[in-house]
Amino acid sequence: MKLDPKEIWFVTGSQHLYGDETLRTVADHSTKIARSLNDADELPVRVVYKPLLTDPDAIRNLCIEANSSPACAGLIVWMHTFSPAKMWIGGLTRLAKPVCHLHTQFNRDLPWASIDMDFMNLNQAAHGDREAGHLHTRIGLRRKVVVGHWQDPEVLQRLGAWARVARAWSDLQGAKICRFGDNMREVSVTEGDKVSAEATFGFSVNGYGVGDLAAAVSRVCEPQIDDLCSVYEREYAVQADLKKGGRRHDSLREGARIELGLRDFLDEGGFKGFTTTFEDLHGLRQLPGLAVQRLMADGYGFGAEGDWKTAALVRFMKVVGDGLPGGTSFMEDYTYNLDPAGPQVLGAHMLEVCPTIAKGKPSLEVHPLGIGGKEDPVRLVFDAKPGKALNASLVDLGHRFRLIVSEVKAVEVPPMPKLPVARALWEVLPNFKDGVAAWIYAGGAHHTGYSAAVTTEHLLDFAEIAGIEALVIDAETDLREFRNEMRWNDSTYGRG
């Protein structure tokens, strides 16, 4: 994906009490840690060392500078020494960027034979970071706390997860989601408060007439279509009668025309995601299928039937997972295999599943679609890769947003020669009955962001930054405790 380069600022707190020599050593240690984090593959962003902070004015100025820097996606903060935390109130109460509190220590092992009070006074994050943590809690600072030595692989992995989320959060601020038409009529879960969403998550959602998209599609030139059809033949196993000279080649050309027009429309508007609805296609000859699949593969968020929350979530998850193995797609829990030996969910959609989750080369086919009353749409057909994955759903409960994460185990998809859509097959954790019951009690949608790249840790970091409720359904979930957690959350957030 083409993402704007982002930085994480490495911020170290101290005070003047220790004298210049100690502060020089602190700065030297911090520089080494920042450089090491910058070089770590786990963090997909630049890590920038910021000069030591030792007084309230410098702290406030740094936070204001962070807020106004488009490149700054967040701050990693650490107290190498004791930094009296009232100095941080003025800065942190103004800070609008994500924070990760790295509770680490420069030295890993204590030098037992040589340790003296100078060493003790230099290496005192153990109590300096407790003073910081107290103030963070006191002012309600949302943050991630990562504990351990800065070279510990698990610490790097956790910092990296947060840095990915901070980068994706930055991408979401000011992001525009384009909604062609409105919601699928009478559907509840895809509705929601777009004003609250913008205030909470930073992305905006606005509607456009599908006629404007149809006009962009009609402006596409034939040579562009020729070129794109050649790309299709290179990248996919194209059904024989769709190929050039084939009986149904015109269907493929129409799919290419829709892709080119949709891409132009989204590029011109600077959109990062979009929704369609099969109930509002006036002027388009096919429901966009292949076009949506290929745009998702390029990093656009997508939600069907007007589902703008899932479109934004899919975009966010794609940025989080960028460069990691495993893809991310719009998904729908479609139908079940209720074999008592191992119940499974077959996930699919009418057309719009992203080929980044495909196992092997997708097949490009055309089939009738019994819904929408349009011409037969072209689409990519494939099986999703087996392995660990998750489904995430963002729902609007009317007075708050809830993020629900369900960890799943994707399995090999058996041959289904008559099913003309892309599909994934998975087992739900902790088991089918409890996992699905938890999802339904939580009010999770039938649409999700499905990912083999994004983890529960990423999504919990996201919920913390956004300040929203998050519920996790995984191997540890106990349905009775899960339902109690929701009751407790209702008393925290109110029932509206």
Which CB sits closer to Mn ion, 304 or 389?
Answer: 304
DSSP reduced 3-state for 370: coil
- Determine, following the binding rule CB under 5 A, whether residue 421 of this chain makes contact with Mn ion: no
> Of 1-9, 204-212, 298-306, 469-477, which segment contacts Mn ion by CB under 5 A?
298-306
Q: Give the burial class of 8: count Cβ atoms within 10 A of its Cβ; 0-12 exposed, 13-18 middle, 19 or more buried.
A: buried
Paired tokens of 94: 């103004």
Site for Mn ion in 191-250 (CB under 5 A): none
CB of 284 to Mn ion, least distance (A): 18
* 354 within 8 A of 327, measured Cβ to Cβ: yes
Q: Give the burial class of 474: count Cβ atoms within 10 A of its Cβ; 0-12 exposed, 13-18 middle, 19 or more buried.
A: middle
Which CB sits closer to Mn ion, 12 or 275?
Answer: 275
List C-alpha distances in Å: 356 to 271, 299, 353, 388: 20, 10, 9, 15
- Determine, following the binding rule CB under 5 A, whether residue 304 of this chain makes contact with Mn ion: yes
Block residue for tokens 């359904």: 473
Which CB sits closer to Mn ion, 1 or 371?
Answer: 371
CB of 350 to Mn ion, least distance (A): 7
CB of 307 to Mn ion, least distance (A): 7
Enumerate residues 6+ apart whose C-beta is below 8 A from 155: 102, 104, 146, 147, 148, 149
Q: How many CB atoms lie within 10 A of CB 140?
A: 8
Which CB sits closer to Mn ion, 74 or 347?
Answer: 347
CB of 35 to Mn ion, least distance (A): 48
Count the residues of the shown chain that bind Mn ion, applying the rule CB under 5 A.
2
Q: How far apart are the C-alpha atoms of 457 and 464, rounded to whole Å? A: 11
Q: In the complex, which residue's CB is closest to Mn ion?
A: 304
Q: Computed over its alpha carbons, how large is the radius of gyration of the chain? A: 25
> Of 188-196, 297-305, 311-319, 480-488, which segment contacts Mn ion by CB under 5 A?
297-305
The b-or-e profile of 314-331 (16+ CB within 10 A means b, else e) is bbbbbbbbbebebbbbbb
* 146 within 8 A of 157, measured Cβ to Cβ: no
Q: How far apart are the C-alpha atoms of 368 and 373, rounded to whole Å? A: 10
> Of 96-104, 217-225, 247-255, 328-336, which segment contacts Mn ion by CB under 5 A?
328-336
CB of 349 to Mn ion, least distance (A): 6
Which CB sits closer to Mn ion, 125 or 178?
Answer: 178
CB of 305 to Mn ion, least distance (A): 5
Q: How far apart are the C-alpha atoms of 477 and 147, rounded to whole Å? A: 25
Which CB sits closer to Mn ion, 266 or 304?
Answer: 304
CB of 264 to Mn ion, least distance (A): 26
Which CB sits closer to Mn ion, 332 or 396?
Answer: 332
Site for Mn ion in 329-348 (CB under 5 A): 332
Among residues 110, 51, 113, 63, which one has the least CA distance to residue 87? 63
Which CB sits closer to Mn ion, 45 or 287?
Answer: 287
Which CB sits closer to Mn ion, 171 or 332?
Answer: 332
* 328 within 8 A of 335, measured Cβ to Cβ: no
> Of 232-240, 299-307, 390-398, 431-439, which segment contacts Mn ion by CB under 5 A?
299-307
CB of 189 to Mn ion, least distance (A): 10
Q: How far apart are the C-alpha atoms of 312 and 330, rounded to whole Å? A: 10
* 52 within 8 A of 25, measured Cβ to Cβ: no
> Of 197-205, 245-253, 302-310, 364-372, which segment contacts Mn ion by CB under 5 A?
302-310
Which CB sits closer to Mn ion, 146 or 304?
Answer: 304
CB of 445 to Mn ion, least distance (A): 9
DSSP reduced 3-state for 236: coil
* 94 within 8 A of 63, measured Cβ to Cβ: yes
CB of 439 to Mn ion, least distance (A): 16
What is the contact surface with Mn ion in residues (CB under 5 A)?
304, 332
